[in-house]
Amino acid sequence: MGLPNYITKIDTYGTGTTVRAYKTNAEVETSITSIDILSMGTIPGLERTFSFDVAKNTYILFSSYVPQGICIAGNYILITAYDFNENGRSVIYVVRSSDKVYITTLILPFTTHVGGIAYDTSNKYIWVANNKSIAGFPYTDLQSIIQEYENDREKKYGAYRFSSMPRNFSVMNQASCLTFFDNLLWVGTFNESSTSSIYGYIVNISKATISAKYYIEAPKHMQGLSFYKKDSVVYLAISKSYGIEWSEVRLYKPSYSNPQNVSGKTYKKILKNNAYKVRIFPHGAEEICVNGGSIYLIFESEAEPYRDKWTNCIDKYVLFKTNSFFEI
């Protein structure tokens, strides 16, 4: 299949990104008591992440990467992370979903917070939150990278660097978290002091256009969002966290089929309604992702900047049964 010219495989000389478990599964199960856990996997890169240092203009190992976003693309779990000190380029860890084995690291062409990632199944694109824009690449690029990695018998190419992103779209709101639902890319904004916003965008790759179709008002401190549809009812999960405060996942039944007109706007407003359930989790919950019968929740608390400051730190992405989580 071959790699496109904007992706370069990097020889990590056997010193690439590592996967170290700081907590046992039993310790995580003790920390999460609001719902039974289906399974879990260790987040890569917490001990060290191989990336490009923009200040030193070279590849080095970092101990300061913070996990943020999570999504499922085909047979792979994709996890975003950024360098807390803003010297290293942001990354995507690629994990095989069947056995939760870390495969490789994708080095992105920017150092932003990359708070969200989503797989657009309509356009077959992977999108990453990048300040007031979304940056994306085709799913076929991921397939090419996996094929290159599998063909590398010595597994010396432990990272793949993007010199640019094939698609970049400006959006109306700060891109803090992402999800894909109902053929729309939903972009959520974190707000520290007041209500947040979510916009559902129509993305047309062939015409290189993006336009907002829906708007939803969201609570402050939103870190992630994900929709789920069951028997014609649409559910919405919003994860919230802020510093050492305990995290929440708020569950809603929005008025999805009855959007309201917004004066002077081309998009419509969907009322999220009051949360019918609030689940409490240890601090540091980040993005949340529904994938069929499983719902994934990832935490940043075991990252090096936080692990000695916070209690109940979690070094896993945790899976729950979707129906049980939404109490369906």
Mean pLDDT for 154-182 is 93
Q: What average pLDDT score do residues 111-120 get?
A: 98
Structural domain boundaries enclosing 180: 7-325
Say if residues 159 and 51 touch (Cβ distance below 8 Å): yes
> pLDDT by residue (tens digit) across 276-326?
999 999 999 999 999 999 999 999 999 999 999 998 899 999 999 999 999
Q: Determine, yes or no, domain membership for 304.
A: yes
Q: Where are the alpha helices (DSSP H) in the chain?
A: 25-31, 139-151, 322-325
Mean pLDDT across 26-46:
93
| Rounded-to-integer distance, Cα 117 and Cα 187, Å | 10
Percentage of the chain beyond pLDDT 90 is 92
The per-residue pLDDT for 218 is 97
Is 156 a residue whose pLDDT tops 80? no
Question: Which string of DSSP letters, residue by residue, matches 249-262?
Answer: EEEE---TTS-EE-
Mean pLDDT value across residues 136-149 = 96
Asked whether residue 25 is assigned to any structural domain, the reply reads yes
- Mean pLDDT score across all residues of the chain: 95
The per-residue DSSP string of 89-134 comes to PPEEEEEETTTTEEEEEEEPS--S----EEEETTTTEEEEEETTEE
3 state SS of 148: helix
Q: Total structural domains in the chain? A: 1
Residue 193 covered by a domain: yes
pLDDT at position 33 is 84
Higher pLDDT, 154 or 143: 143
pLDDT average, residue stretch 123-147: 97
Flag whether 1 is in a domain: no
Q: How confident is the model at residue 101 (pLDDT cuts 50, 70, 90)?
A: very high
pLDDT value, residue 14: 64
8-26: average pLDDT: 87
Which CATH number goes with the domain that contains 132? 2.115.10
**Whose CA is closest to 188, among 154, 212, 222, 163?**
222
- 190-201 per-position pLDDT tens digit: 999 999 999 999
Find residue 260's DSSP bridge partners.
269
168 lies in some domain: yes
Residue 2 lies in a domain: no
Task: Say what the pLDDT of residue 1 is.
Answer: 65
182-191 burial code (b ≥16 CB/10 A, e <16): eebbbbbbbb
Residue 91, in any domain of the structure: yes
Burial (Cβ within 10 Å: 0-12, 13-18, ≥19) of residue 96: middle
